[in-house]
Amino acid sequence: MPAFPNEETAAKVFGELFTILAADEEFTSKLRESNLSVRLIHTKPDCTVFVSADEVAVGEQAPDEATITIKMSCDTAHALWLGKLMMPAAVATGKVRIRGKVAKVLELVPILRPAFDRYPEIAAGYGISA
């Protein structure tokens, strides 16, 4: 059974996660310093999130261009943010596809660290179980 019942719930959970991160000056300053923007394309259900130092956009408002594009299913994203699936394994098995320069991806990983701490609580708030 999928973790997310519909697109609306996925958009709310992932949108809230990145909105909280974007409110943290340390997070946004690191994105700005690295000149990073990320487009996360989730499938099953579909949900796109764009994150930069200046904005978080969800759904149709998400710009098409970003420094890094990461594509995965919502179930894969759920497992990643819970820490049940490691990014290297997800990439190696094709569960996650990344477009962008490897150096930029390596810069992004430590910046996202706070997301792993916040995600379980946010997901639980929407009835998404661990």
Evaluate whether residue 14 is within a structural domain: yes
- The tally of domains found in the chain comes to 1
Q: How many helices (H) and strands (E) does the chain have?
A: 6, 5
> Per-residue pLDDT tens for 66-106?
999 999 999 999 999 999 999 889 989 999 999 998 888 88
Query: Residue 34's domain spans which residues?
Result: 7-120
Evaluate whether residue 78 is within a structural domain: yes
Q: What's the confidence (pLDDT) of residue 44? A: 97
The answer, yes or no, to whether residue 40 has pLDDT greater than 80, is yes
Evaluate whether residue 108 is within a structural domain: yes
Arithmetic mean of pLDDT over the chain: 93
Evaluate whether residue 24 is within a structural domain: yes
Evaluate whether residue 130 is within a structural domain: no
Q: 3-class SS at 37?
A: coil
Evaluate whether residue 127 is within a structural domain: no
Evaluate whether residue 126 is within a structural domain: no
The tokens for 94 are 């094709």
Distance set, CA 43 to CA 4, 28, 97 (Å): 10, 26, 12
CATH number at residue 110: 3.30.1050.10
Confidence (pTM): 0.92
The answer, yes or no, to whether residue 9 has pLDDT greater than 90, is yes
Evaluate whether residue 66 is within a structural domain: yes
